[in-house]
């Protein structure tokens, strides 16, 4: 057994639920499909070069299994342990009762979850949908509303002008994303000027028709600084300004929205529909960006998207994780009317190429295909994991010239 795989087999049906004071939902056949019970859970902590990827595999008594991905939050062993604990709660349940099992995990946790708990829940939820689709013999998108499009538009992050030109030529991307010059490393006026010049160089490299998203990555706290940069970037017709300020203060985001004329996007650091509701209702954003690996999963993201649709806001999922997360997002995008574009990383080298047996490859027009096999339609390449040991990981920290920390 690979060192980075944990197999957590669950005991006799009902024992763990009795310990938790819970009762399994009545099981049985669904139409012509036989009864099914969860019997075990496996976790894979995989080193991807610079960070880890966390995979979930749920086993059943019918020989059907499902896979999912949890967000790599930093304390990755903590996410694994939470997944294993939830496994005790899920033992003996029919995995096709996705909403019920979500309610079980969320409500019995008692307090609203943060990044670790919600990442664990999200990865498990993906695997439940995978099982449900396989059992029914249909793709997951067929269970979540059916297809509303034939293919999925994607974009990739670029490091600068030359790289941007290469990616447009190689992959046919019609959109790219880029960061800004770190404002904590230099005086504010210089940071603003160099950030604007950085965006201008990319715009000149790719021409007027390629969409460019600019990610501040919460490096600003003050509304004034974000508004000032937005004004400087306005001539370059950006697709959106992403995470322009910290995500906790929705009133401040609305204040910024009222002051600028470029589209705003945020949401990767927010969880569950209850946290997205006031952000969406404020009409502060033009795009919401929930992350399917930590916002609560596929079905929760569908609910967030429905709230956004009612407010005429589009959804552009945050997706920095592995090719498996891209597949889960593809099922969301296939069945969601107000989906706009998906963050993507071409799986053509290293860990990106190896973790799935058949990853979704970008076409020459900057789109990916919609999976058509039952369930999520892909399988983990577990053999490759033997050569991908995990390592400790945390985000880097940036400091100002005076030694104080600035947010990122």
Residue whose structure tokens are 């050569």: 387
- φ, ψ for residue 390, nearest 5 deg: -75, 160
- φ and ψ at residue 315, rounded to 5 degrees: -115, 125
Q: Residue 252 region, left (φ>0) first, then alpha (ψ -120 to 50), else beta?
A: alpha
Q: Locate tokens 């991807």: which residue?
A: 48
User: Which residues 6+ apart lie within 8 Å of 111 measured at CB?
Assistant: none
| CA atoms of 327 and 378, how far apart (whole Å) | 8
Closest CA to 318 of 334, 335, 301, 306: 301
3-state secondary structure of 254: helix
Find residue 154's DSSP bridge partners.
Answer: 342
Token reading at 244: 């322009």
Residues acting as catalytic residues: 217, 318
Nearest partner of 382 among 351, 356, 361, 348, judged by Cα: 356
- Residue in this structure with the two tokens 């945050």, named with its chain if needed: 318
In the Cβ-directed half-sphere of 199, how many Cα atoms lie within 13 Å?
Answer: 28
Pairing mode, if any, of strands 151-157 and 367-369? antiparallel
Query: Cβ distance 241 to 261 under 8 Å?
Result: no
Strand order in the sheet with 38-47: 5-9, 38-47, 52-60, 65-70
């Amino acid at each position: 057994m690979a060192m980075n795989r944990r197999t957590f087999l669950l005991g006799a049906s009902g024992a763990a639920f009795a310990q938790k004071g819970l009762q399994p939902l009545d099981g049985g056949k669904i139409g012509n499909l036989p009864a099914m019970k969860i019997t075990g859970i496996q976790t894979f902590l995989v080193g991807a070069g610079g960070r880890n990827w966390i995979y979930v595999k749920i086993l059943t008594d019918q020989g059907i299994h499902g896979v999912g991905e949890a967000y790599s939050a930093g304390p990755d062993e903590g996410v694994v342990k939470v997944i294993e604990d939830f496994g005790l709660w899920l033992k003996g349940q029919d995995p096709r009762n996705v909403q019920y099992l979500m309610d079980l995990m969320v409500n019995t946790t008692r307090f609203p979850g943060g990044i670790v708990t919600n990442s664990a829940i999200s990865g498990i939820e993906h695997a439940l949908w995978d099982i449900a689709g396989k059992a029914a013999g249909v793709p997951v998108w067929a269970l979540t509303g059916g297809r509303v499009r034939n293919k999925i538009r994607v974009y990739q992050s670029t490091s600068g002008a030359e790289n941007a030109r290469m990616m447009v030529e190689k992959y046919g991307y019609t959109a790219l994303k880029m960061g800004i010059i770190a404002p904590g490393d230099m005086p504010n006026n210089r940071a603003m000027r160099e950030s604007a010049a950085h965006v201008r160089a990319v715009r000149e490299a790719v021409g007027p028709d390629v969409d460019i998203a600019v990610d501040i990555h919460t490096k600003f706290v003050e509304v004034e600084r974000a508004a000032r940069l937005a004004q400087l970037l306005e001539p370059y017709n950006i697709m959106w300004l992403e995470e322009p300020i910290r995500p906790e203060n929705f009133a401040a985001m609305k204040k910024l929205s009222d002051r600028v004329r470029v589209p705003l996007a945020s949401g990767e650091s927010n969880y569950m529909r209850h946290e997205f509701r006031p952000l969406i209702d404020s009409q502060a954003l033009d795009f919401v960006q929930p992350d399917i690996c930590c916002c609560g999963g596929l079905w929760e993201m569908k609910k967030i998207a429905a709230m956004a649709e009612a407010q005429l806001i589009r959804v552009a999922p945050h997706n920095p994780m592995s090719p498996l997360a891209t597949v889960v997002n593809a099922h969301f995008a296939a069945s969601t009317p107000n989906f706009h574009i998906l963050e993507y990383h071409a799986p053509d080298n290293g860990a990106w190429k190896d973790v799935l047996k058949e990853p979704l490859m970008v076409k020459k027009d900057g789109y990916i295909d919609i999976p058509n096999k039952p369930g999520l339609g892909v399988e983990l390449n577990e053999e490759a994991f033997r050569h991908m040991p995990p390592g400790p990981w945390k985000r880097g920290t940036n400091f100002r010239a005076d030694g104080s920390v600035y947010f990122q």
